[in-house]
Amino acid sequence: MRSFNLFVALILISGSVYAQVAVKGDVVHTMAGDPIENGVVLINDGRIERVGPESRVQIPSGYEVYEAAVVTPGLIDAHTVVGLAGYLNQDHDQDQLETSNAIQPELRAIDAYNAREALVGHLRNLGITTIHTGHGPGALISGQTMIVKTSGETIDEAVLNPAKMLAFTMGGGINSAIRKPGTRAKGMAMLRQELIKAQEYLEKRNGENPPATNLKMDALADLLEGELTALVTVHKTNDIMSAIRLQKEFGFPMVIDGAAEAYLILDEIKESGLPVFIHPTMLRPRGDGKNVNFETAGMLFESDIPFAFQSGFEGYVPKTRVVLFEAAVAVANGLPFEEAMKALTINAAELLDISDRVGSLEEGKDADLVLFDGDPFEYITNVQEVFINGVRQ
């Protein structure tokens, strides 16, 4: 009897994980083409099985059917610290910044991420199904970032990429608990010196007699080889230009993060060829971000500069913004609806190198969907359902 009960339980668990689902939407934004009116998305075994208009996609018998006014791919937060920073805003749930040293690229997000953190569930309930999270701004190099789904009880269940970027901060955003650098020039000198060391280490690492393992140098060497990307948080024009200059000198892949004054040097950013993870649209205008502009996202689009939305880092409860709302404000300030939706989905996925799995509703991709009861960018609209890997959350 015990074996039989276990067998039944396994069937029930399997049925919940690998459910066959049909999602019908008055409008389905696939992000792989024009929106589909009266569209259907079939989900099977955690993947998208088929997408198309209801007139062409027959729903097989036995599929559980959900209906919504608007269906979109799962939304992507291009930069956050959620999962390292917790909602209680107390020392025991704040692991996003280690202040004992200004340069610590060896710190791994995977060693600090809490998949059960309430903020992860908060974002998931608002349609954010994938986040790029990890060590945050405040140190010259605060550590590594990672990409995870907002589902799962453990990091192993959630992770998409355990090490994606190195989080840099330049300009006036260095945490006051870190004694060095004291000035911008000192910060640049410290970074350049460490990168020069990393160049020498990399040459030896690739030689016949590799050096003893050095976690710090290994991380920087991975950056120089393009295995990691620099995520450089800067806001003022002079700091943005310094970041671009550093990238040109050492040739590593880079994303400009924040960029409150990006609208003042659009030509220079475009010439650099670097993408932007734009500051939260409603960023508080203070410090280096005092010249923040509601219209920056629209200006980046008009200048043909790739960008994605982020929730960033907040020092106050509840510790995170929501990219859906930030994008909505950008739409209200000049960014076209469809471009905002791209920045929340397929464009973000492409910038994070995960577009083979998420970012659009296409056959074979992960079945991450959000069902809305109206226009996603209207404040009164509600998220009805969220699916991650084909599982209703």
Mutual angle of helices 184-205 and 237-250, in 10-degree steps: 20
CA–CA gap between residue 97 and residue 94 (Å, rounded): 8
- Enter the DSSP assignment of 127: T
- Enter the DSSP assignment of 366: B
Q: What is the mean pLDDT of residues 49-60?
A: 96
Per-residue pLDDT at 80: 97
Q: What is the CA radius of gyration of the chain?
A: 22
Nearest to 257 by CA among 247, 190, 249, 372: 247
Instruction: For residue 264, give every residue at least 6 positions away whose Cβ sits within 8 Å of its Cβ, in sequence order, or none.
Output: 237, 291
CA–CA gap between residue 368 and residue 319 (Å, rounded): 25
Element at 35 (helix H, strand E) = none
Q: What is the location of CATH 2.30.40.10 in the chain?
A: 2-73+363-392
pLDDT band at 15, cuts 50/70/90? very low
- pLDDT, tens digit (0-9, with 9 covering 90-100), for 61-93: 999 999 999 999 999 999 999 999 988 888 888
Nearest to 219 by CA among 241, 188, 252: 252
CA–CA gap between residue 96 and residue 94 (Å, rounded): 6
What is the pTM assigned to this prediction? 0.94
Mutual angle of helices 337-344 and 323-332, in 10-degree steps: 160
Find out whether 240 and 289 touch, Cβ atoms under 8 Å: no
- pLDDT, tens digit (0-9, with 9 covering 90-100), for 326-358: 999 999 999 999 999 999 999 999 999 999 999
CATH 3.20.20.140 fits 75-351, yes or no: yes
Instruction: Indicate the class that CATH gives domain 2-73+363-392.
Output: mainly beta
Output the average pLDDT for the chain.
94
Among residues of the chain, what percentage have pLDDT more than 70? 95
Q: What is the location of CATH 3.20.20.140 in the chain?
A: 75-351
